Amino acid sequence: MIYLVLGLVIFLGLHSISIVAPMWRDRTAARFGNAWRGLYSLVAIAGFALIVLGYGRARLNPLVLYAPPDWARYVTAILMLPVFPLLLAAYFPGRIRHAIQHPMLTGTILWALAHLIATGTLASVVLFGGFLAWAIADRVSYGSRTQRAISTAPPGKLNDLIAIVGGLLVYVVFEHWLHVRWIGVQPLPM
């Protein structure tokens, strides 16, 4: 569990710099340029690797906090439907991105909430609860700080269609095949 917690502290802590110290972050990024990006990426990858390692180890000896009912997996499946389209909408600017402002954070909130409903182990609560708390804090602070541009596709009339259709295709592939192969859990009975 220590690797999971350490990974979350590193990964979410790094991603929280813009919440707690946006001016410091902007000055540091401007001063170091690509070196900042490189260091940021390396630290984020290390944090993510610790999360994966820690969660994988914690799942070997799970401490069950609550037992979700069987129907919870269907609620999770429904909550997960917009997650991948929202993630794509962050990079394909259109009406979805304009209406939601930060679709990736909204997708992260839905993903974390959905998984908290479907899982009840301590490791799951730490992992998904941590991401949920971070995403809510980031979303709340979003309007009070200067937004940095991210690289996206050019705005276009088809971007919403690309985000929805592409996201739903990714959802089906992930739900039917990749989740069980990568995570070891089949979300819905086949």
26 pLDDT band, cuts 50/70/90, is: confident
Mean pLDDT over 96-125 rounds to: 94
Mean pLDDT score of the chain: 91
pLDDT at 55 over 80: yes
* Per-residue pLDDT at 96 exceeds 70: yes
First to last CA, the chain: 31
Q: Return the amino acid letter for 81.
A: L
State whether residue 112 is helix, strand or coil.
helix
Helix, strand, or coil (residue 40):
helix
The pLDDT, as a whole number, for residue 81 is 96
CA 85 to chain centroid, in Å, comes to 13
Residues 6 or more apart in contact with residue 46 via CB below 8 angstroms: 10
> Is the pLDDT confidence value at 14 over 70?
yes
**Domain ranges for the chain:** 1-61, 63-190
Specify the residue for token string 């900042």.
36
Give pLDDT, residue 36: 87
pLDDT surpasses 80 at 60: yes
Q: Rounded mean pLDDT of 114-127?
A: 96
Confidence of residue 47 (pLDDT cuts 50, 70, 90): very high
Per-residue pLDDT reduced to its tens digit, 143-163 = 776 666 667 777 888 999 999
154: how many CB neighbours lie within 10 A of its CB? 7
